[in-house]
Amino acid sequence: MKAVYERNPLLMGSNKFCPGCGHPLLNKIIADVLAENNWAGDAITALCIGCALNMTPYVDWDLVQCPHGRAAAVATGIKHVQKSKLVFTYQGDGDAAGIGLTETFHAASRGEPFTQIMVNNQIYGMTGGQSSCTTLIGQKTTTSGPSGRDPAHTGYPTKLAEVIAMVDAAGYVARVSIHTPKHIRQAKKAIEKAFRLQMEENKYTFVEVLAMCPTNFHVEPWDAPAYTEEKVLPVFPLGEFKTPEGR
Amino acid sequence: MAKRELMSGNVAMAESAIRAGCNFFASYPITPQTTLLEYMSTRMFEVGREFIQAESEIGAINMVMGAAAAGGRAFTATAGMAVSLMMETLSYLCAAKLPSVVVNIQRTGAGAGGITSSQTDFHYATKSMGHGGLHAYVLSPGDVQEAADLVYDAFAFAEKYQCLVYILTDAMVAQVMEPVELKPMLENLPVREGSAQGSALGGTKRINTINRTDLRSLEGYRSFEAMYDTWQREEVRYEEYRMEDAEIVLVATGMSARIARGAIDTLRAEGVKAGMFRPITLYPFPTQQIRGFAQRGIKAVLDAEVAVPAQMIDDVDHALQGSLPLYKIDCTWNTVFTTEDIEKKLREVAQEV
């Protein structure tokens, strides 16, 4: 009998993420992109500190665990030594846009030929739901105060994709979401495009992925897609913010 | 015999790193390291190696971490306060057992400090490499030739023990120019096994990840402890200068030892049996060697260092365990002691014992 669907061998066993979390879904999208393009044997991930590090036991490609926020600098070192390999960071918003903004920005400015994947769930998940620089206005966190994020105190959500798109050396910048099947397909295309531009044209590429964190959104997992649609997308618009000319 | 060339400590260390196979250098400008960075900025391209002027010392040391994780022979150099910026990742390099070489050219004082030469990072370099209590192999060169040799050997040592080698030198050794004979250029070095080079499905390499229980466990930390014990037994390095029949021994490193050497000769000419013991490894410290002083007929020890409060004296004191009287001469900032100051202090000690 012909198999019509099989488990991706790059994903081993079960994972420890919360129900409805965006990480395992995004892990699978990346694993599928690697497998379908025969890139798995060339992949090296610079992994952040945060919920993302729960992927380490169950994804089966090379991983380097980085100090918090420094994945773009670590990936720079990796890529300079392994120039033909597919190097990408996998970071949360707190890691890439908060503590690691300097490393992110300057890797983009130098045009380092690797891909940064920033998983934006508007929260510090691993430590239990503290405010991030991407937390929505009015969103309640364990550090926002009872009325939620107030611009008078903590300003507005950081929109990193738009910032990186202004950098001359950035080759491809996109923001995608994974809250519906349609968005999952778009996200997969964007990641594949980012990887391909890295491998074939030596471009620095950046993909911000809006991910659901029902635990810290304080919604049921099945309500998280609607939350994303109603509250997150108006603040973080989707799309390709920078592409190589004509593509 | 190779040609002897006149070069500064900074340039000698840079060229030695290249000859030892360094294929990745990332760094950020800071006095008094800058001429090392400038030399690498052209020389690394000449030999087809990777050079990056990073956005910060934090960026530089994390690039070193990435390069080391991917199998590169990674190197950085910095000074004084900028080591503080690197400390978190220095801890990671130790914990992940990533071979790498770091040079710290000490400059004076806390906070912004000053740019004069000093020895104020001794405790910082030897007691714990950042958070967590692990150690680098810490070396202190006494002159330009030794700085070149220690950096050259550092790369092989780092690979042998899968550790961080930390050259703790000072602005005097880094900036003075002396004739140097450099070691040969190593070619076609193999890429280290176990590094992340892309090897999915079964051969996957996980560097420093949460499931590395071989390192992240009691057993892992016992293995670090055992490595440090091995260093203490087998890898301690030091120089003894006119110590054969010495009764008064000066303990000093780096710039202090340079200043003190002439004082030993003067006191010898005056008939005082003075000698100098110069630790080359600061971690592991030559504890057993200093502990044996009393059995060698030595009557007093003088610690000399450019740090106030003095730092290395704590390790000398720990080694002596009260077996001999311990004196000190120290200084900092704009008042570095002279050879004559040390001669005077040695005469005082000679009269007391």
B89 CB neighbours in chain A (<8 A) are 67, 70
**What's the number of domains chain B is made of?**
2
Query: Residue B1: pLDDT above 60?
Result: no
Residue A51 CA to residue A127 CA, distance in Å, equals: 9
Which of B204, B205, B211, B212 best probes binding to A when mutated, by most A CB atoms within 10 angstroms? Answer: B204
Q: Are residues B230 and B275 in the same domain?
A: no
Min Cα–Cα distance to chain B from A105, Å = 10
Pick from A41, A103, A110: which is nearest to B198 by CB?
A41
DSSP helix/strand/coil, A102: helix
Q: Which two tokens stand for residue B331?
A: 């200084």
Min Cα–Cα distance to chain B from A220, Å = 29
Which of B24, B25, B40, B55 best probes binding to A when mutated, by most A CB atoms within 10 angstroms? Answer: B55
In sequence order, the 6+-apart residues with CB closer than 8 A to the CB of A93 are: A118, A119, A120, A121, A122, A132, A133, A134, A158, A160
pLDDT-based confidence at B212, cuts 50/70/90?
A: confident
Q: Are residues B168 and B255 in the same domain?
A: no
Residue B246, domain CATH: 3.40.50.920
Q: Which two tokens stand for residue B285?
A: 């410290």
In sequence order, the 6+-apart residues with CB closer than 8 A to the CB of B218 are: none
Contact of B95 with B283, CB cutoff 8 Å: no
Mean pLDDT, chain B, whole residue set: 96
B76 CB neighbours in chain A (<8 A) are none
Domain boundaries, chain A: 22-242
Contact of B27 with B77, CB cutoff 8 Å: yes
Query: Residue B200: pLDDT above 90?
Result: no
Q: Are residues B154 and B254 in the same domain?
A: no
Query: Residue A72: pLDDT above 90?
Result: yes
Contact of A88 with A179, CB cutoff 8 Å: no
Contact of A119 with A131, CB cutoff 8 Å: no
The residues that bridge with A64 in the sheet, in sequence order, are A46, B207
Q: Are residues B163 and B242 in the same domain?
A: no
- The last residue of a domain, from among B201, B234, B267: B234
A22-242: CATH number: 3.40.50.970
Residue A40 CA to residue A23 CA, distance in Å, equals: 19
Residue B250's closest CA among B281, B275, B279, B267?
A: B275
Q: Are residues B320 and B255 in the same domain?
A: yes
Residue B350 CA to residue B353 CA, distance in Å, equals: 6
Residue A105 CA to residue A116 CA, distance in Å, equals: 11
- The last residue of a domain, from among B169, B203, B234: B234
Contact of A22 with A215, CB cutoff 8 Å: no
Q: Are residues B106 and B33 in the same domain?
A: yes
Mean pLDDT, chain A, whole residue set: 96
Pick from B62, B198, B211: which is nearest to A74 by CB?
B62
Cis-peptide, bond into residue B190, ω within 30° of zero: no
Pick from B198, B202, B208: which is nearest to A82 by CB?
B198
In the sheet that B206-207 helps form, which strands lie side by side, from edge to edge? A239-242, A170-177, A204-210, A115-120, A86-92, A43-47, A62-65, B206-207
| DSSP secondary structure string for all residues of A21-64 | -HHHHHHHHHHHHHHHTT-GGGEEEEE-SSGGGGGTTTB-SEEE
- Mean of the pLDDT values across residues A22-50? 96
Q: Are residues B8 and B54 in the same domain?
A: yes
pLDDT-based confidence at B196, cuts 50/70/90?
A: very high
Q: Are residues B224 and B77 in the same domain?
A: yes
Q: What are phi and psi of B138, to 5 degrees?
A: -110, 125
User: Nearest-5° angle of CA B35, CA B38, CA B44?
Assistant: 130
Q: Which two tokens stand for residue B75?
A: 């190197």
- Mean of the pLDDT values across residues A197-201? 98
Q: Are residues B88 and B128 in the same domain?
A: yes
Residue A224 CA to residue A222 CA, distance in Å, equals: 6
Report DSSP state, residue B113: -
Q: What is the separation of C-alpha B313 from the centre of its chain, rounded to a whole number of angstroms?
A: 17
Tell me whether residue B191 is in a domain. no
Residue B235 CA to residue A149 CA, distance in Å, equals: 56
Count other Cβ atoms within 10 Å, centred on residue B23.
21
Residue B149's closest CA among B268, B157, B64, A155?
A: B157
Query: Residue B2: pLDDT above 80?
Result: no
Residue B178, domain CATH: 3.40.50.970
Percent of chain B topping pLDDT 70:
99
Contact of A58 with A12, CB cutoff 8 Å: yes
DSSP helix/strand/coil, A154: helix
Tell me whether residue B197 is in a domain. no
Q: Are residues B285 and B329 in the same domain?
A: yes
**Could you tell me the residue range of the domain that residue B122 belongs to?**
4-183+211-234
Give the residue on B whose Cα is nearest the Cα of A67: B89
Give the residue on A whose Cα is nearest the Cα of B89: A67
Query: Residue B75: pLDDT above 80?
Result: yes
Residue A195's closest CA among A7, A21, A45?
A: A45
Report DSSP state, residue B218: H
Q: Where are the alpha helices (DSSP H) in B6-53?
A: 9-19, 34-46
Query: Residue B146: pLDDT above 60?
Result: yes
Q: Which two tokens stand for residue A146?
A: 């009872």
Give helix then strand counts, H and E, for chain A: 9, 7
Residue B228 CA to residue B235 CA, distance in Å, equals: 9
Q: Are residues B224 and B339 in the same domain?
A: no
Query: Residue A207: pLDDT above 70?
Result: yes
Q: What are phi and psi of A35, to 5 degrees?
A: -70, -45
B26 CB neighbours in chain A (<8 A) are 76-77
pLDDT-based confidence at B102, cuts 50/70/90?
A: very high
Residues of B with CB under 8 A from a CB of A: 23-24, 26, 50, 52, 54-56, 58-60, 62-72, 74, 88-89, 92, 96, 196-202, 204-211
Contact of A89 with A69, CB cutoff 8 Å: no
DSSP helix/strand/coil, B295: helix
Q: Are residues B28 and B130 in the same domain?
A: yes
Tell me whether residue B300 is in a domain. yes
Tell me whether residue B82 is in a domain. yes
Q: Tell me what ipTM this predicted complex has.
A: 0.96
Query: Residue A181: pLDDT above 90?
Result: yes
